[in-house]
Amino acid sequence: MTQPDTGLREEAQNDLVLEYLNVRRALGYLGFLLPAMLIAYALTAKGTFAPSISEFYYTHMGDIFVGIMCAIGVFLFTYKGYARRPEKGEILSDRWLSRIAGAFAIGVAIFPVRVEAPMLCTEEGINLGIECHPNLFHFGSATGFFAALAILSIFQFTKGDRDEEGRIRWTGDNLIFVGCGVVMILCLLALVPYVLIDAATEALAPWKYMFVMETVACVAFSISWLVKGKQLGAIRTAVGRMAPAGVSPD
């Protein structure tokens, strides 16, 4: 019975690996799909290029926005990843970090940003979500979402390729993970003056500043999860050739 048992264990392990890869890839594709679809809509529907990704909620893409954010939230809730290692001083595991990010993703969807003059008048059946809340709920959810994703990318995704002392090996994949996490954090910081300072808002709004920063953060999120899902082979190879520790093993 040894060989069949071994075969079943190997098959179960292979299925588990494929499940992880599929969840990671799905998250990566959704992260890219959201801004891509909104840009395509804005370019084909004159006069409806919203100042931010969140404000597309008040256009005919509102259902798409809510649906993708909820899908991202559900996939993040199903992700397990690496177990917590208390001996290394870790407080949260991949599972809990991804669940936190998932809860914030759903929060972004059900607590839409409130605007004074939405471009599309609210009609029954068009917009979903709770609309009698302070904007702090929405912005807090969005900030928590990207912050949790950045922590996952920088600290958790790199756990699979470290030396015996727990230090990051600067392989191509780890460079991408850390780089994407840093980009997400920088995008959040770049939005602080835009949100808090009226003069900055007035000066940068015509350039769709918030939309650009959110899109860059979404693309960084997408790349990070696609690389974790063993996609984007050409990019991984190119970065790996420049990395001190070389190309990451699959």
* Residue 48 forms part of a structural domain: yes
Domain membership of residue 107 (yes or no) is: yes
Tokens of 196: 């808090």
Is 134 among the domain residues?
Answer: yes
0.75 surpassed by pTM: yes
* Continuous H helices in the chain: 2-44, 62-78, 94-110, 135-151, 172-196, 198-204, 209-228, 233-242
CA dist 48 and 41 (Å) reads 8
And the tokens for 104? 């914030």
Q: Which domain holds residue 79?
A: 25-242
Number of domains in the chain: 1
Q: Is 99 part of any domain?
A: yes
6 within some domain: no
**Percent of the chain with pLDDT strictly greater than 70:** 82
pLDDT at 146: 98
Percent of the chain with pLDDT over 90: 60
pLDDT in tens, 109-133: 999 888 765 555 444 445 555 566 7
pLDDT higher than 60, residue 243: yes
Q: Give the whole-angstrom CA distance, residue 223 versus residue 218.
A: 9
pLDDT tens-digit readout, 149-184: 999 999 999 988 888 777 889 999 999 999 999 999
CATH of the domain at 65: 1.25.40
- Asked if residue 119 is part of any domain, the answer here is yes
Cβ contacts of 243 within 8 Å, gap of 6 or more: 170, 171, 172, 174, 175
pLDDT band per the 50, 70, 90 thresholds, residue 196: very high
Taking residues 97-108, report their average pLDDT: 96
In-domain check, residue 76: yes
The answer as to whether 150 is a domain residue is yes
What is the per-residue pLDDT across 202-226, written as a single tens digit (0 to 9) for each?
999 999 999 999 999 999 999 999 9
CB atoms under 10 Å from CB of 200, counted, come to: 15
